[in-house]
Structure 1
Amino acid sequence: MDNLPLLTAGVTLLAGVLAVLGVHTYASGRAQRQALVERMTQTGELTAGPGRRRFHALDRRLRATARGRRLERRIAATGLDITPGEYTLAVLAVVVAVYLVVGAVFAPFFGVVAALLALWGARGHLAWQRAKRTEAFINQLPELTRVLANATQAGLALRTALAMAAEELDDPAGSELAIVADQLAVGQSLDDALGALAERLPSRELMVLVTTLILANRAGGQVVSSLRNLTQSLEERKETRREVTTMLSQIKVTAVAVPLLGLGFLLMINSMAPGALDRMTGSVVGQAATLIAFGLYGLGAFLIHRISRIQV
């Protein structure tokens, strides 16, 4: 009993040491987990941290199917901060809202047609976001080639130059190159990593850059001079693409304005003769004529888009 104060102090000291070790272990594990989540988010394996997301059960069910995995890859290619479950529920909510609003304003038949168009538009929205991200990446290619040329001229290896470019460039080039750098860090070959980048963001300019880097990595040669020449070519193509886009802007507006005029005429007819659209779509002939009219409007917009599509 005489050693009770000394024993108490020893136990207290031991408990304090164990508490410090426990806090250190917890903080280290939490930091490693956060780093893993960020790396998986960049590679597309995980679209967000679990604490910020909902609908985990729906996400698991979707990822268990081939269609859900394809949807997840399409979303990852767009750079959107959304999970497949959130996207699916958002699309369903928009489809139902469009059906109710259009059906109330025009006629129930138009609500069904608008819901189908909204479902098709949701898929087209992903394609548009991917094209938008690809276009932004193409605009960064001259800066990217300039950074790679400077890094290789300074004596850095191509893998190191790609990692440095990932840190210096803004999104989307920075995040996409960070994915390439992570893939190279885990042992993937340069050909496969750059090939995956070209598949995520398909474009002729990026394919030229990827081919140049792969050939230079395989056979060696003057990488710096090749990148310098490619930088100048990409700058000229960038200016040409901007001029072409400006010249074709009026045609693209026409492709959108013509279908909107048709909808405006329908609203005018329904306001002048209330119930006219209900009577028009109340028969099979009227429904067929409406579908043919919508098809002609869509065909016209498609033809205008194809005519104004110029490959630079």
Structure 2
Amino acid sequence: MNHPTLLALGATVLCGTLAVAGVHSYASGRAQRQALVDRLSGTGPLRTGTGRVRRFAAVDRRLRRTRLGRAIHLRLSATGLDLTAGEFFTYVTAVVVALWLIASSVLAPFFGPIAGLVGVWCAVFFLNWQRQKRIEAFINQLPDVARLLANATAAGLALRTSLAMAAEELEAPAGEELSLVADQLTMGRSVDDALGELATRLPSRELIVLVTTLVLANKAGGTVVSSLRNLTQTLEDRKETRREIRTMLSEVNATAFTVPLLGLGSLLLVNSSNEGALARVTGSPVGQALVLISLGLYGVGFIVIRRLGKIEV
């Protein structure tokens, strides 16, 4: 093999190596750029803080551009769940499709869309329940928040420093929420805006009282230490009262969920004792109307029982 052939072969190998390295460098840079765009645009990293891989990133990016996606993201941010809007939407869609198919095959095809709507309602109810659960947990930590702020203020620390110290001392959800407030204050937001956003994100009477006390003390000064210590005792009393009320109303709340389950059990019993009975009943408009009326009455009963078991403290 002569020298020109070797030279051409070496040049070919060199060009191929450079081409592969260039393609690899381009792909790596493109992936880094996309990760940076996702992080800056609020779509989140590909991994969570605990190292869990984010799923359905493409669905999440497309969903965030819609009003539905933004609404889901706001609700999820208030619940503290480690889920993106795309993940939640995909999981709910899978559950709705599964309920639709199960109800259509076990009961009758007429119950498929109804089961799908029930699945969507359960998803909304789950988000509201998680949000209320987080609010309750935050309310239970409010006495400790007020006590830490009072001690820090009595030691001569500024309100911004006191909030940052309380965020480090407390566990979730109070620690996470106060850490977010402290970060906003560090970025230059006013105390009124940061605390006002906290009260909007986790609405409760106790938190509104605490936020009002801190905002007024920050504006006008005064005896903030004594006010916070008096507020601590008040919050402790309200915490015990809420716990007693929740215990007394637990049976009422259990009844609200038992009533619809009895209706579902009766449908399964009728269909199992006489196979195809629900299909024949829902085969006529009159039967469909009667089924919808009965389901509506069960829904009204659930709402009424829940209202009777809800007492504002």
Q: What is the TM-score with the length of structure 2 in the denominator?
A: 0.84
Residues of 2 paired with 1:289 and 1:167: CA distance?
58
Q: What are the superposed Cα offsets for residues 196-225 of structure 1, whole Å, 9 maximum, x if unpaired?
A: 101110111101110110000000011110
In the TM superposition, residue 191 of structure 1 has moved relative to its aligned partner by 0.3
* Gaps in structure 1 of 5+ consecutive residues: 1-29
Asked whether the equivalents of residues 63 and 69 of structure 1 are also in contact (C-alpha less than 8 Å), the reply is: yes
Residues of 2 paired with 1:49 and 1:179: CA distance?
21
Residues of 2 paired with 1:65 and 1:266: CA distance?
39
The equivalences for 1:259-298 within 5 A come to 259-298=260-299
In the TM superposition, residue 45 of structure 1 has moved relative to its aligned partner by 4.2
Asked whether the equivalents of residues 48 and 81 of structure 1 are also in contact (C-alpha less than 8 Å), the reply is: no
The equivalences for 1:10-89 within 5 A come to 45=42, 47-50=44-47, 52-89=53-90
Residues of 2 paired with 1:261 and 1:299: CA distance?
14
Write the letter of the residue equivalent to 1:280.
Answer: V
Q: What are the superposed Cα offsets for residues 12-33 of structure 1, whole Å, 9 maximum, x if unpaired?
A: xxxxxxxxxxxxxxxxxx9xx9
In the TM superposition, residue 65 of structure 1 has moved relative to its aligned partner by 2.1
The equivalences for 1:161-310 within 5 A come to 161-310=162-311
Q: SS where residue 82 of structure 2 aligns? A: coil
The 1:199–1:48 alpha-carbon spacing in structure 2 relative to 1, beyond 3 Å, is farther
Q: SS where residue 71 of structure 1 aligns? A: helix
Asked whether the equivalents of residues 43 and 64 of structure 2 are also in contact (C-alpha less than 8 Å), the reply is: no
Q: SS where residue 108 of structure 1 aligns? A: coil
Asked whether the equivalents of residues 205 and 234 of structure 1 are also in contact (C-alpha less than 8 Å), the reply is: yes
Residues of 2 paired with 1:131 and 1:48: CA distance?
27
The equivalences for 1:128-143 within 5 A come to 128-143=129-144
Residue 92 of structure 1 aligns with which residue? 93
Residues of 2 paired with 1:80 and 1:48: CA distance?
15
Write the letter of the residue equivalent to 1:218.
Answer: K
Residues of 1 paired with 2:229 and 2:125: CA distance?
37
Q: SS where residue 110 of structure 2 aligns? A: helix
Residues of 1 paired with 2:252 and 2:44: CA distance?
37
Residues of 2 paired with 1:64 and 1:134: CA distance?
28
Residue 126 of structure 1 aligns with which residue? 127
In the TM superposition, residue 49 of structure 1 has moved relative to its aligned partner by 4.2
Residue 101 (str. 1) matches residue 102 (str. 2): yes
Residues of 2 paired with 1:284 and 1:137: CA distance?
50
Write the letter of the residue equivalent to 1:187.
Answer: G
Asked whether the equivalents of residues 96 and 115 of structure 1 are also in contact (C-alpha less than 8 Å), the reply is: yes
Asked whether the equivalents of residues 96 and 120 of structure 2 are also in contact (C-alpha less than 8 Å), the reply is: yes
Q: What is the TM-score with the length of structure 1 in the denominator?
A: 0.84
In the TM superposition, residue 274 of structure 1 has moved relative to its aligned partner by 0.8
Write the letter of the residue equivalent to 2:87.
Answer: E
The 1:116–1:184 alpha-carbon spacing in structure 2 relative to 1, beyond 3 Å, is same
The 1:45–1:218 alpha-carbon spacing in structure 2 relative to 1, beyond 3 Å, is farther
Q: SS where residue 124 of structure 2 aligns? A: helix
Asked whether the equivalents of residues 47 and 82 of structure 1 are also in contact (C-alpha less than 8 Å), the reply is: no
- Which is worse superposed, 61-70 or 180-189? 61-70
Q: SS where residue 301 of structure 1 aligns? A: helix
In the TM superposition, residue 241 of structure 1 has moved relative to its aligned partner by 0.4
